[in-house]
């Protein structure tokens, strides 16, 4: 059972969440939660370069430390192994010199645990340890039993909330904390204006890392027509690697504006901030919309990281089948039956409901 830690003076805190994009967003609620527990603390965050833009605009972070993993790997591959080791040791020395009082590793992997151990902090805590990372920690936290599917519907970011509560924070202080940069917002507005998007648009977040998490591709055209009827222009967003699929989806409906690959990550956050609605699969963009309190419809099938949002502006659509959640091991031979349960009519209805909730 999770218990609050005894009161202690904590001046310097480091959060080690290196990746991935969605999990960095979900765990961002640790920032306000920790500040509610230790209002005078200086909070730093160690992250890999790909996710750094999600945090660099946050005024509540004292410091963002970017892990130069790519450079170390390049040096190693090029045969400069001694130089790579020297740089790793220098990085370790810089972490130790910071004299963190508390290091929190919500990722729970060996690589994140090693970075936490590098600090030499007197208190190191991780979440759901894997790869034997618990041996690099002083304490490890496992989510409360009530977080599972067989109990109350799990709340968005429930595992990270449990970690914050373990550290003594009030559960209500946990709110995902995603800041929008001024320049990123200006750039996003410029791109959206050039696309002649109009004042009200709905973001389609159709892409993620595994095909079993995708909605049935042909459904996006039908949803686009339904969104038009609700007074919204459908806007397709994603990264450069999503462009082939985005071209197929955009070709299926003239209503869809395709800006996939046109925005940097922090500009994508700004574009989502201006949306009236987001419909997305289990991907970082969906978590961003919830963090920004944008009306959101999340389409889940093979994974169920959460089944309810913080309020009525989020609906999670999920039909649990005998084979679900299958995560990385689907047994349906590419049919993705769980996602086929979520038809256009059902998704369209949810879109209308979360927008109505937003106006109450």
**Rounded to two decimals, what is the model's pTM?**
0.93
**Residue 330 confidence (pLDDT):** 86
The per-residue pLDDT of the chain, averaged, comes to 93
Q: What is the mean pLDDT of residues 81-97?
A: 97
- Residue 6 CA to residue 53 CA, distance in Å, equals 34
**Residue 322 confidence (pLDDT):** 85
Q: What is the mean pLDDT of residues 98-116?
A: 98
Q: What is the mean pLDDT of residues 246-260?
A: 97
Q: CB within 8 A of 86, min separation 6: which ones?
A: none
- Residue 256 CA to residue 233 CA, distance in Å, equals 7
Domain range annotation of the chain: 12-173, 182-359
**Nearest to residue 298, comparing CAs of 277, 327, 268?**
277
- Residue 37 CA to residue 183 CA, distance in Å, equals 32
Beta strand spans in 72-218 (E) = 102-105, 124-127, 139-141, 201-205
Q: What is the mean pLDDT of residues 48-62?
A: 97
Q: Is there a contact between 125 and 34 (Cβ–Cβ < 8 Å)? A: no
pLDDT, greater one: 40 or 329:
40
CA-CA-CA-CA torsion sign (143, 145, 150, 155): negative
pLDDT band at residue 7 under the 50/70/90 scheme: very low
Residue 38 has pLDDT above 70, yes or no: yes
Q: What is the mean pLDDT of residues 204-214?
A: 93
Residue 4 has pLDDT above 70, yes or no: no
- What are the pLDDT digits (tens) for 296-322? 999 999 888 899 999 999 999 998 888
- Residue 168 CA to residue 154 CA, distance in Å, equals 21
Q: Which of 61-70, 120-129, 138-147, 227-236 has the lowest mean pLDDT?
A: 138-147
Q: Is there a contact between 264 and 272 (Cβ–Cβ < 8 Å)? A: no
Q: Which two tokens stand for residue 346?
A: 């059902």
Give the architecture (CATH level 2) of 182-359.
3-Layer(aba) Sandwich (3.40)
The answer to whether domain 12-173 and domain 182-359 are alike in fold is yes
Q: What is the mean pLDDT of residues 271-277?
A: 98
Name the helix (H) or strand (E) containing 41.
none
- Residue 175 CA to residue 158 CA, distance in Å, equals 11
**Residue 8 confidence (pLDDT):** 61
Instruction: Answer yes or no: CATH 3.40.50.2000 is held by domain 12-173.
Output: yes
Q: CB-based burial of residue 9 (10 Å sphere; 0-12 exposed, 13-18 middle, 19+ buried)?
A: exposed
């Amino acid at each position: 059972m999770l218990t609050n830690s005894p009161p202690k003076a904590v001046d310097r805190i480091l959060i080690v969440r290196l990746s991935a994009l969605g999990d960095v967003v979900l765990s961002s609620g640790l920032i306000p939660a920790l500040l509610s527990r230790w209002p005078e603390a200086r909070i730093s965050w160690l992250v890999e370069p790909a996710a750094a833009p999600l945090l660099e605009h946050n005024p509540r972070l004292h410091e963002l430390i970017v892990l130069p993993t790519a450079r170390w790997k390049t040096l190693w591959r090029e045969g400069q192994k001694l130089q790579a080791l020297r740089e790793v040791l220098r990085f370790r020395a810089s972490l130790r010199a910071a004299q963190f009082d508390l290091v929190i590793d919500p990722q729970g992997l060996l690589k994140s645990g090693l970075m936490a151990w590098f600090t030499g902090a007197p208190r190191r805590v991780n979440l759901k340890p894997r790869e034997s990372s618990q041996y690099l920690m002083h304490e490890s936290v496992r989510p409360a039993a009530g977080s599972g599917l067989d109990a109350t519907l799990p709340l968005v970011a429930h595992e990270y909330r449990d970690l914050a509560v373990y550290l003594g924070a009030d559960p209500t202080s946990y709110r995902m904390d995603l800041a929008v940069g001024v320049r990123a917002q200006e750039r996003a507005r410029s791109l959206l204006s050039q696309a002649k998007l109009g004042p009200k648009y709905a973001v389609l977040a159709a892409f993620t890392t595994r095909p079993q998490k995708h909605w049935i591709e042909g459904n996006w055209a039908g949803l686009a027509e339904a969104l038009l009827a609700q007074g919204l222009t459908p806007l397709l967003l994603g990264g450069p690697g999503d462009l082939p699929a985005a071209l197929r989806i955009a070709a299926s409906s003239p209503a869809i504006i395709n800006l996939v690959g046109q925005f940097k990550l922090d500009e994508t956050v700004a574009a989502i901030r201006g949306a009236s609605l987001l419909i997305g699969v289990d991907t970082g963009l969906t978590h961003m919309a919830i963090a920004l309190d944008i009306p959101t419809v999340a389409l889940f099938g093979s994974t169920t990281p959460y089944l309810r949002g913080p309020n009525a502006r989020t609906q999670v659509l999920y039909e649990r089948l005998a084979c679900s959640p299958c995560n990385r091991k689907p047994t349906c031979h590419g049919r993705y039956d769980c996602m086929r349960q979520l038809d256009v009519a059902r998704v369209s209805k949810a879109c209308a409901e979360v927008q109505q909730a937003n106006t109450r």
